[in-house]
Amino acid sequence: MNTFQEIDNTIKKYQKIIILRHQNPDPDALGSQGGLAVAIRQAYPDKEVLIGGQNSKGLIWLSEMQDIKGSDFEGSLVIVTDTANQPRVDDDRFNNGDFLIKIDHHPNDDSYGDMLYVDDGASSSSEIISDLIESSDEMKLSKEIAYYLYAGIVGDTGRFLYPATTSHTLQTAGKFLDLGLDTSSINQKMNEITLAQAKLQSEVFNVIKIDPSGAALVIIDKEMMSKIGLNQEQANSAVSTPGRLKEVTSWVEAVEKDDGTFRMHFRSQGPVINEIAKLHDGGGHPLASGANAKDRNEIDQIFKELIAAVNEYKLKEK
């Protein structure tokens, strides 16, 4: 594990810096990437700073990617934010630079990079980037940087709902407010869903299977998505929906992919679920993880494992 000082010194040394993050980016991936890019550009106007990966249609208001050529990697510093493991980096060329830094808040299952800073107690990678900037001699927080980082923190804490929210998280958000950031308009933007997404939420409540333990399963198949007129990415907006139900403690949402396999989204309000995700080609945080299921049999198996985890947790709680 390296220090902020070492990362800051490395940033100083490189003329060209490429910042990447994970595939299917969420606001924290884009916010930590974009916020760090703006911080470096503002502190060092002569450096060339590029942000890369696929654009996210739904989050284009937050950040838009740049075209990165193969030759851009030559002699560059590559920084990857919010990405626990190498296969999830949204650019296969991430190892082609001169030096690689990982900055993340997921459990450090894959310690890649020439330097790394991982704090799995931090609410978000955006919160870590804010601390990195605050500790730097050259970089300074600004309203523009705060825009990205606030969106990342709000995204990963569910607007300060989840237990990873600490007093430091709120102090960091407070600093952003002091910089004059219009947090309310970002909150509004992130709270917004389309009518189709609202219809999907109501479908989620129709099809949800709730076990007496408090474990729940939702399957969003292609038929449901096409009936409502949503694609897989848009369907992800319903992942947190079951958490509002009093009857539900932990849940898994299966979203069917084009090839008929399923992307699994695990969420929990106590029982640890990333160990189940790891058994099914996935991983993530103890209370928020992702995985893959090849068919409905595997979904049934996963639901059984979730029920067992919730029951075990309840026994320990007693």
Stretch 199-258 residues interacting with ligand AMP (CB under 6 A): 239
Q: Are strands 250-256 and 262-268 parallel, antiparallel or unpaired?
A: antiparallel
Among 53, 152, 242, 290, binds ligand AMP (CB under 6 A): 290
Stretch 99-118 residues interacting with ligand AMP (CB under 6 A): 106
Rg value, the chain, Cα: 20
Task: Please report the beta strands in 68-206, taking only residues with DSSP state E, as ranges in sequence order.
Answer: 77-81, 99-104, 115-118
Q: Is 283 in the site for ligand AMP (CB under 6 A)?
A: yes
Fill in the per-residue mask, 73 to 102: x = in contact with ligand AMP (CB under 6 A), - = not in contact. -----------xx--x--------------
Burial of 271 (0-12, 13-18, 19+ CB in 10 A): buried
Among 288, 299, 309, 310, binds ligand AMP (CB under 6 A): 288
Stretch 291-310 residues interacting with ligand AMP (CB under 6 A): 291
Helix 27-43 and helix 125-135, axial crossing angle in degrees, nearest 10: 20
Of residues 142 and 261, the one with the C-beta less far from ligand AMP: 261
CA 288 to chain centre: 10
Stretch 248-267 residues interacting with ligand AMP (CB under 6 A): 265
CB of 152 to ligand AMP, least distance (A): 12
CB of 84 to ligand AMP, least distance (A): 5
Among 282, 293, 299, 313, binds ligand AMP (CB under 6 A): 282
Which 3 state secondary structure label does DSSP give 216? strand
CB of 42 to ligand AMP, least distance (A): 28
The partner residues of 16 in beta bridges, in order of sequence, read 48
Q: Is 58 in the site for ligand AMP (CB under 6 A)?
A: no
Is 177 within 8 Å of 183 (Cβ atoms)?
yes
Of residues 141 and 154, the one with the C-beta less far from ligand AMP: 154
The number of residues that bind ligand AMP (CB under 6 A) is 15
The partner residues of 289 in beta bridges, in order of sequence, read 266, 284
How far is 199 from 92, CA to CA, in rounded Å? 37
Only one of the segments 57-65, 91-99, 138-146, 276-284 lies at the binding site for ligand AMP (rule: CB under 6 A); that segment is 276-284
Among 34, 169, 197, 285, binds ligand AMP (CB under 6 A): 285
Only one of the segments 9-17, 43-51, 164-172, 286-294 lies at the binding site for ligand AMP (rule: CB under 6 A); that segment is 286-294
Is 155 within 8 Å of 161 (Cβ atoms)?
no
Identify the residue whose tokens are 């939420």.
201
Angle at 249 between CA 124 and CA 157, to 5 degrees: 15
How far is 47 from 13, CA to CA, in rounded Å? 10
Structure tokens at 266: 């695990």
Fill in the per-residue mask, 7 to 36: x = in contact with ligand AMP (CB under 6 A), - = not in contact. ---------------x--------------
Of residues 179 and 272, the one with the C-beta less far from ligand AMP: 272
Binding site for ligand AMP (CB under 6 A): 22, 84-85, 88, 106, 239, 265, 282-285, 288-291
